[in-house]
Structure 1
Amino acid sequence: MQYQKHDAKAFAREHMRGIWAAALTPFTPDLLVDEAGFRRNLRHWVDELGIDGVFVAGKQGEFFSLSVAERKRLFEIAVDEIGSRAGTIMSCSDQNLDTVLDLARHAQAVGAGSIVVHAPVMHFVTDQDETLYEYYRHLSEQLDIGIAMWSHPDSGYLMSPELCARIAELPNIVAIKYSVPREMYARLTRLTEGKLIVSTASEEEWLDNIVELDWRLYLCSSPPYLLQSTVDRRMREYTDLAFKGEFERAREVRDSLDPVRHALRRTRPPGKPQAQQKYWQELLGQAGGPVRRPMLPLTEDEREAIRIAFAGCGLAVPAGARASHAA
């Protein structure tokens, strides 16, 4: 590890900053993990798009269809490829606590910056607070690495700001990916100032959160590498403008991406988010590939709709990237 347990919060405050992206996991045509493609994507995101950190093997990365060995291998690749120049946060989420701890200890061993653990699904439980506190307390006790909580409606409930603030008192609970209504994450930001880094996955709210809540971390979803290319880094540009206090100019640049956001939203078939985003990656020249079951692939009509929307959205891409996927 890069720090001692008692330094986890200070390490996070120093290093968990800027734009962090949740990695999709590229697969080969025969549904093996595309390790070479994943490495190319990581280098491209960090070195050419200016992404500050990468979230590995999460829900967007189809962790639910990966073996434990594959998830560990993705951790290793990320640290090896970008660990010396960008942040890494490894998703260790699982319903089985032994699996969570196994993955987390591997993340520690290979030198990951931090881990994230999703709040578990709580079958037949209607008052979750004590159970959840004990869940994260046990993880904190067993592990030295910095831990980010993750609360999302997928769990069947949302963790309250008050519960999150209580958990944030634990020594190596450093952050939260808080996929909740804005009033909830704004309250948690106020409750935990200096103790917990609060973020949410909505790129469209990112600039307002810099301006109004003084956030310095976007943690994280796929827009940082879907809204940008080597010749069009407007998300990086508006973020840097906002960090410098140039809010009016930042809003102009942010708003100029609305056609790209709209193209992504309107061509996303129900139930196929990873498949659509992977194909969009390919149109940008990144490694995408197919999805694994239970996720469904795109139909040819869906691919054609995405191609048309991509071509007309105004996102500048190198000529070679567009030409290679014109068919």
Structure 2
Amino acid sequence: MNKKQRLNIFRVFLFAGTIISLYFVPWILVKAWILPLPKTIDEQINQSIDHGFEGMIVYVDEAGKQPVTYTGGFKNREQQVPTDPDALFKIASISKLYDAVAVTKLVGKGQLSLDTTLAEFLPELVGKIEHAETITLRLMIQHRSGIPNFTDTPDFWAHPTTSFEESLALIEGKPANFKPGNKYEYCNTNYLLINKIMDDVLGYPNFQFIQDEILHPLQLHNTFSSVNEVNINNVMGGYHVGYPHDLKNNDFGMHATAEDVGKFIRALNEGTVFKNDEKEIYASIYEFEHSGWVPGYQSFAHYYEDIDTVVVCFYNTTDPKLLYWNLSEIINKRIFKILKKKNKTNRNN
């Protein structure tokens, strides 16, 4: 068999493999990926709503330009209320960025040390959390502690816990997933413990510290600790496939507008949220963008350094198999391509 014949056979196998892989990928993802790229974000949002999202908010802050918020779909599906650009949204794990900045500031003030162990902070957890004597604050922030993730408990989101004690009880006594520092594994228990540690050190709820040190200086007046702190009519409805009701009343942590999140991400990446050597401390322990998921709500906060642009995307539709998560990631990339293409056109002109 000559080289040309071997190459032809390889191409056949490659083509067949591609067809087989596409067969097992949900068609909606393939469709979202192969559709021609729209010229504008508005067009992309309309296309995304056609894919099945109930509503979307996209905030774009391009350096040197006035930020713009785009919307599509419904804020309230039942009443057919259009999406409000100033609607509050459950930002889920994007809140970890605020927690990490708060820890950084407490380290800068000498109130916390990144090398202090969990056993020193919370000695009552020795024997309940494996390796508590060697798990440091730094490892928890970086998701390298090995502690089991309490939200991975079967059916957790159908019956979520409502307190620190209930959440911790789900993983107490369970073996570690790995030795501290050996791996990275995203884990909400880390930040459950970090918030408890900050509360204990401060002597008051750490969100007040976040307000004083982060939100107020940045004039972020539309960021809140809980759904219980807001007017429920200002919250965007959230919808989970297979569940018939709006999930906006569920208390899943921080709420914010897309604009507030975008301003925070800009300040985080430019360093204006920090003082003295805080940015260097932060850069050594955590990331500068994040995403979040709770039933009914998907949130993405990105900073694209090559075009100096912040993009925050909110989607108020989720599903048990994370199909909509994968779909939203495709859409996020397409929004970036639209912005990058426009940025290149503007430079050339």
TM-score (norm 1): 0.25
Greater helix content: 1
